[in-house]
């Protein structure tokens, strides 16, 4: 005979009539939790739906709906003449649901304090906490370096284009036209290497604007430069392989390479870009180098021709790979943009990387790789395994945007606009920040470095800027090794001159010496 559940009543099942969830769902959740928690044992008979409804002042339909759902899912059983009981087939292992395991940096210490696996000597998965693989632990550690960006962008956040002048109406018309004419092929799974017309458009654009030597078949469409670096790392590197990275350098590249298990070798940069001789001394057996030759990120230097040739010669001799990250090469204000490093490569050792995030808008999530012919199949297969392909209709719209000349016009327009905005930043900085922060014009790019006096803590200066609602990352935050002159990275492309001037004044106030103090708030250490 089924046991009646002791003490079960609607009075003990608190339903909240102000909550957004329906009462039947609340009752379902409460009964399910009681079953899984062991408070309602297998075979226990539940009160009738009429009785529970009367006790709780709910409608019988409410109780019936909850019972029916629980019965359908196997938690309850209903038999004619026997009422409703808790199912006897619910596994005993489900009757007590353990709390979710705590994760995070402090979990190990707290687990020992509670007498957990660490305290009892129970085996744990190598290499450490939370059962992550070595690759997973590397990814988690690398991702911790990136700040979570929320809210509208504030000056001088780097890496943002001028969204205020993007031709949204034109883009909407191109998009609407594509959707009106969308074929079944465009709505089916696409080629992992990318939409063929987009690959053709990208190859044609790069041949003219960047002197890249490529055919459309060498273009691999990716979701942005970050995926491109990740694919290159997974295809070309084994765990432990040494890799040259610029120091200071792009955090996204450093994170993707470190997460792949590569051993990073930070190489100093100067006015001529990456120091090739120093790199060869520190890591002669490097398997790959990530470099930003046209406009080094974040210092803004350009890799000289002699160093370009030396880098290509080293890659040829050692059979190493060069990932050329050409992220904002379109924006050069003194003459034509410099030719790409890839165009000088005769040994097929350069993987060329570009993105439309900095030229158009970040949410587009489209970029491209140009890979040597022998690597095309490997990269296409890796792209398929990652996420099949980028959205085909968006690729088609972008192909139209390029082929019809809109991209070239947009670049010409924004190049002139960014030159004006850079000039506004330099002028305002000279008026309000000198001599504490040195900001000089640059021939290229979308940001400048505000150099601080030797010995000044740029991390503290960046925090003081943030307190004044100014985004100015410290140059030291991009370094692998401590040392070097401090500075603030000041992006200007996304902000109107009035915003730039106002933010420079706020930054000046944040860094200004306080009355009675002999040193600036951004203290010299």
Contact 220, 368 (CB under 8 A): yes
Task: Kindly state whether residues 307 and 332 are assigned to the same domain.
Answer: yes
Considering the domain architecture, whether residues 186 and 316 belong to the same structural domain is answered as: yes
Q: Is the peptide bond before 91 cis (omega within 30 degrees of 0)?
A: no
More confident: 481 or 173: 173
DSSP state of 319: T
Coil, strand or helix at 185: helix
What the block records as the tokens of 246 is: 């610029």
Q: For residues 219 and 334, which has the higher predicted lDDT (pLDDT)?
A: 219
Residue that finishes a domain, picked among 55, 72, 94: 94
DSSP state at residue 489:
E
Look at residue 151 in the predicted model and tell me its pLDDT: 67
Decide if pLDDT at 19 tops 60: yes
Q: Quote the crossing angle between the two packed helices 196-209 and 406-432, to the nearest 10°.
A: 50
User: Helix-strand-coil percent breakdown of the chain, rounded to 5?
Assistant: 45, 15, 45
The partner residues of 243 in beta bridges, in order of sequence, read 264, 288
Residues 190 and 246 in one domain: yes
Residue 157 lies in a domain: no
Query: Nearest CA to 381 among 131, 193, 183?
Result: 193
pLDDT score of 420: 96
Domain end position, chosen among 375, 404, 433? 404
Rounded to two decimals, what is the model's pTM? 0.74
- 487 vs 286, 295, 459, 484, 522, CA distance in Å? 29, 17, 9, 9, 11
Structure tokens at 235: 């295809």
Nearest to 495 by CA among 159, 171, 167, 252: 159
Same domain, 274 and 218: yes
Helix axes 251-259, 225-236, angle to 10 degrees: 30
Q: CATH number of the domain that 196 lies in? A: 3.40.640.10
355 backbone dihedrals φ, ψ, rounded to 5°: -145, 150
**At residue 108, does pLDDT exceed 90?**
no
pLDDT at 525: 37
Query: Is 232 in the same domain as 349?
Result: yes
Domain with 70 in it: 10-94
The predicted structure's pLDDT at residue 54: 80
Mean per-residue pLDDT over the chain, rounded: 85
Percent of the chain with pLDDT over 90: 59
**Shared domain check, 186 and 319:** yes
DSSP 32-100: HHHHHTTSS-TTPEEPPHHHHHHHHT--HHHHHHHHHHHHHTTSEEEETTTEEEE-TTS-GGGSSPPPP
Residues 184-236: pLDDT tens digits? 888 889 999 999 999 999 999 999 989 999 999 999 999 999 999 999 999 99
Sign of CA dihedral 442, 152, 141, 145: positive
Q: Is residue 366 part of a domain?
A: yes
> Residue 136 falls within a domain, yes or no?
no
What residue has token string 């401590």? 482
What angle (nearest 5°) sits at the alpha carbon of residue 293, between those of residues 287 and 298? Answer: 100
18 or 114: which leads in pLDDT:
18
Q: How many CB atoms lie within 10 A of CB 281?
A: 10
CA angle at 244 for the pair 148 and 194, rounded to the nearest 5°? 65
Domain end, chosen from 343, 378, 404, is at: 404
User: What pLDDT is recorded for position 181?
Assistant: 86
Helix axes 376-387, 225-236, angle to 10 degrees: 120
- Report residue 29's pLDDT band, with 50, 70 and 90 as the boundaries: confident
394 sits in the region (left: phi over 0; alpha: psi -120 to 50; else beta) called alpha
Number of compact structural domains in the chain: 3
Phi-psi region of 182 (alpha: psi -120 to 50; beta: other; left: phi over 0): beta
pLDDT digits (tens, 9 = 90+) for 118-143: 333 434 444 444 677 777 777 776 66
Percent of the chain with pLDDT over 70: 84
With 0-12 / 13-18 / 19 or more C-beta atoms within 10 angstroms meaning exposed / middle / buried, residue 217 is: middle
Q: What 8-state DSSP symbol labels residue 210?
A: S
| Residues 429 and 352 grouped into a single domain | no
Would you state the pLDDT for residue 20? 76
Q: Domain for residue 104, yes or no?
A: no
My answer on whether 367 and 494 are in the same domain is no
Please check whether residue 461 lies inside any domain of the structure: yes
Residues 302, 394, single domain; the answer is yes
Q: Are 510 and 467 in contact, with CB atoms under 8 Å apart?
A: yes
Positive or negative torsion for Cα 235, 237, 243, 247: positive
**Average pLDDT score over residue span 151-160:** 88
pLDDT confidence tier of residue 242, bands split at 50, 70 and 90: very high
């Amino acid at each position: 005979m089924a046991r009646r559940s002791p003490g079960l009543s609607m009075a003990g099942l608190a339903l909240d009539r102000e909550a957004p969830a329906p009462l039947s769902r609340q009752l379902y959740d409460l009964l399910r939790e009681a079953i899984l928690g062991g408070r309602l044992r297998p075979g226990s008979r539940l009160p009738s739906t009429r009785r529970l409804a009367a006790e709780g002042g709910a409608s019988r339909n409410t109780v019936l709906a909850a019972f029916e759902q629980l019965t359908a899912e196997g938690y309850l059983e209903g038999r004619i003449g026997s009422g409703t009981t808790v199912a006897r087939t619910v596994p005993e292992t489900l009757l007590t649901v353990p709390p979710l395991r705590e994760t995070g940096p402090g979990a190990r210490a707290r687990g020992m304090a509670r007498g957990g696996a660490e305290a009892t000597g129970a085996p744990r998965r190598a290499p450490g906490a939370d059962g992550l693989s070595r690759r997973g632990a590397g990814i988690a550690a690398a991702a911790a370096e990136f700040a979570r960006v929320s809210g509208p962008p504030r000056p001088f956040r780097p890496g943002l284009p001028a969204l205020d002048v993007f031709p949204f109406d034109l883009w909407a018309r191109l998009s609407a036209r594509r959707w009106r004419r969308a074929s079944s092929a465009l709505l089916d799974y696409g080629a992992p290497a990318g939409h063929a017309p987009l690959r053709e458009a990208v190859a044609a654009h790069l041949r003219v604007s960047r002197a890249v030597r490529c055919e459309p078949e060498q273009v691999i469409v990716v979701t942005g430069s970050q995926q491109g670096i990740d694919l290159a790392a997974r295809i070309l590197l084994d765990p432990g392989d040494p890799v040259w990275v610029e120091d200071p350098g792009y955090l996204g590249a450093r994170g993707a390479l470190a997460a792949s298990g590569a051993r990073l070798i930070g190489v100093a940069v100067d006015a001529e870009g990456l120091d090739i001789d120093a790199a060869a001394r520190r890591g002669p057996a490097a398997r790959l180098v990530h470099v930003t030759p046209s406009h080094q990120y974040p210092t803004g230097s350009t890799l000289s021709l002699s160093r370009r040739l030396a880098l290509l010669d080293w890659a040829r001799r050692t059979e190493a790979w060069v990932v050329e990250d050409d992220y904002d090469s379109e924006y050069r204000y003194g003459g034509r943009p410099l030719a790409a490093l890839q165009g000088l490569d005769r040994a097929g050792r350069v993987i060329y990387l570009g993105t439309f995030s900095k030229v158009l808008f970040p949410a587009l999530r489209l970029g491209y790789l140009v890979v040597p012919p022998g690597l095309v199949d490997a990269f296409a297969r890796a792209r398929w395994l990652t996420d099949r392909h980028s959205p085909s209709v968006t690729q088609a719209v972008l192909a139209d945007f390029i082929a019809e000349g809109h991209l070239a016009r947009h670049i010409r327009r924004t190049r002139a606009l960014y030159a004006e905005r850079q000039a506004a930043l330099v002028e305002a900085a000279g008026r309000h920040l000198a001599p504490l922060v040195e900001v000089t014009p640059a021939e290229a790019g979308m940001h400048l470095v505000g150099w601080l006096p030797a010995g000044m803590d740029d991390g503290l200066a960046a925090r003081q800027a943030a307190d004044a609602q100014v985004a100015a990352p410290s140059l030291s935050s991009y370094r692998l090794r401590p040392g070097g002159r401090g500075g603030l990275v000041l992006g200007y492309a996304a902000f109107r001159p009035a915003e730039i001037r106002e933010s420079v004044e706020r930054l000046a106030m944040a860094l200004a010496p306080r009355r009675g103090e002999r040193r600036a708030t951004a203290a010299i250490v």
